Amino acid sequence: MERSKTLPSLLFVAVLLSACTATPLKIQERIVGTWHADLAGFQVAFEYTTTTVAIAPHAPVPYSLEGDLIIFQYQDPETRRVEFLSSDVMVQTDEMTGIKQTFKRKM
C-alpha cells in the first residue's frame, strides 16, 4: 500500500522540477519571423532574423539585444523595449518617446 503512494509522489516531484528548470525562449529566438505593424497608416511586413530587421525592398538594418532592449543600428541608434504579450503579439516601446508599436506575427 505504501509503495503505491510513493510512485505518484515521485512522478509529481519530477514533473514539478522539470517545469522549474524549463527556460522560456529568449527574445532573439521569439522575434525571428515576419511581423505586421502599422507604419504611418499602412500595414507593413517586418522580417526579423536573429541579427537584422528588413522592410522589403529596403536593405536590412542590424540590431542588437541587451536583455529586453532592442537597439537598431541606424546612423543614430534607436532603442526600444520589447515585450511579448503572446507568441503572436509583440509590443515595442520607444525608450525616448514612450510610443508603443504593436506587431502581430504573420500566419
From first to last of its 107 residues, what are the pLDDT tens digits of the chain? 455 555 444 344 444 334 444 446 788 899 999 999 998 899 999 999 999 999 988 999 999 999 999 999 988 899 999 999 999 999 999 999 999 999 999 87
Please give the Cα distance from 48 to 9 (Å, whole number): 44
| Domains detected in the chain | 27-105 (2.40.128.280)
The per-residue pLDDT for 20 is 40
- What angle is formed at CA 31 by the lines to CA 83 and CA 102, rounded to 5 degrees? 50
The per-residue pLDDT for 33 is 95
Please give the Cα distance from 77 to 9 (Å, whole number): 53
User: For the residues of 5-18, what is the DSSP string, one character each?
Assistant: HHHHHHHHHHHHHH
The per-residue pLDDT for 70 is 96
Q: C-alpha cell of 5?
A: 503512494
Q: Beta partners for 54?
A: 47
The per-residue pLDDT for 79 is 96
Amino acid, single-letter form, for residue 34: T
The per-residue pLDDT for 2 is 55
Query: Any residues with CB less than 8 A from the CB of 28 and at least 6 apart, and which?
Result: 50, 65
Please give the Cα distance from 51 to 43 (Å, whole number): 23
The per-residue pLDDT for 56 is 85
Q: The pTM is what?
A: 0.74
